Amino acid sequence: MSETSVPPVSAGEQAVRDLVKTWYEALDRHDPVEQVLPYLVEEGLEMVFPEATLRSIEEFKGWYEAVTHRFFDEIHELVSVDLTPLADGSGDEVKVVVNWQAHIWDRPEPHSKWLGFDAYQTWVVVSDEQGKPRVKTYSVDRLAPMSGSAAL
């Protein structure tokens, strides 16, 4: 196997936990997409959301623009982050539970609506060439609404 075809290896538990934390901080701030892209692999990306499945950086850019214009006052609070190394050593499966709260406004409604959900997710995180963790797959497995939340 040539050096360029060596599969990525685990980024390390603390680095993965830091990635998850900073990912959600960036989402809460609605950072420009160019600042969010380094969290993701450039090739082989798959992101499964309730509303869409994304398989490229270009698809992610469109999704990100839509959600950062749709949701506001977002708060993501990490509930748990559990890592399991993949059997082939190529990275980690990461089970994430995050409490997500936001507001949404639908025209011509007179008021915004509050949304609150616990999002149960599964990620696969691999290391890039510099050893930094990157999200390869990201799946929202289930959304559990909080009491009083509007429907998505």
Query: Is 152 domain-assigned?
Result: no
Rounded to an integer, what distance in angstroms lies between the CA atom of residue 32 and that of residue 19? 17
Whether residue 98 contacts residue 140, with contact meaning beta carbons closer than 8 Å, is answered with no
Judged against a pLDDT cut of 60, whether residue 92 lies above it is answered with: yes
Average pLDDT over every residue of 104-115 = 94
- Residue 150 belongs to some domain of the structure: no
Q: What is residue 12's predicted lDDT score, i.e. its pLDDT? A: 86
Asked whether residue 109 is assigned to any structural domain, the reply reads yes
Q: Is the pLDDT of residue 47 over 50?
A: yes
Residue 34 is assigned to a structural domain of this protein: yes
Give the confidence band of 53 by pLDDT, cuts at 50, 70, 90. very high
Query: What mean pLDDT do residues 36-52 have?
Result: 96
Average pLDDT over residues 79-85: 96
Looking at the domain assignment, is residue 56 inside a domain?
A: yes
The CA distance from 72 to 54, in Å, is: 22
- 60 located within any domain: yes
Q: Which segments within 1-152 are labelled E, that is strand?
A: 46-49, 52-54, 71-85, 92-104, 113-127, 133-145
pLDDT digits (tens, 9 = 90+) for 9-36: 455 899 999 999 999 999 999 999 999 9
Structure-model confidence comparison of residues 6 and 143, the more confident one: 143
Q: Is residue 20 part of a domain?
A: yes
| Side-chain-side CA neighbours of residue 96 (13 Å) | 28
**For residue 64, is it within any domain?**
yes
What's the mean pLDDT in 85-91? 93
Does residue 4 register a pLDDT over 50?
Answer: no
In this predicted structure, the answer to whether residue 61 has a pLDDT above a threshold of 60 is: yes
CATH of the domain at 9: 3.10.450.50
In the prediction, which pLDDT does 11 show?
A: 56
| Number of domains making up the chain | 1
Domain encompassing residue 38: 3-145
Total-model pTM: 0.88
112-140: pLDDT as tens digits = 999 999 999 999 999 999 999 999 999 99
Among 63, 101, 60, 99, CA closest to 81: 99
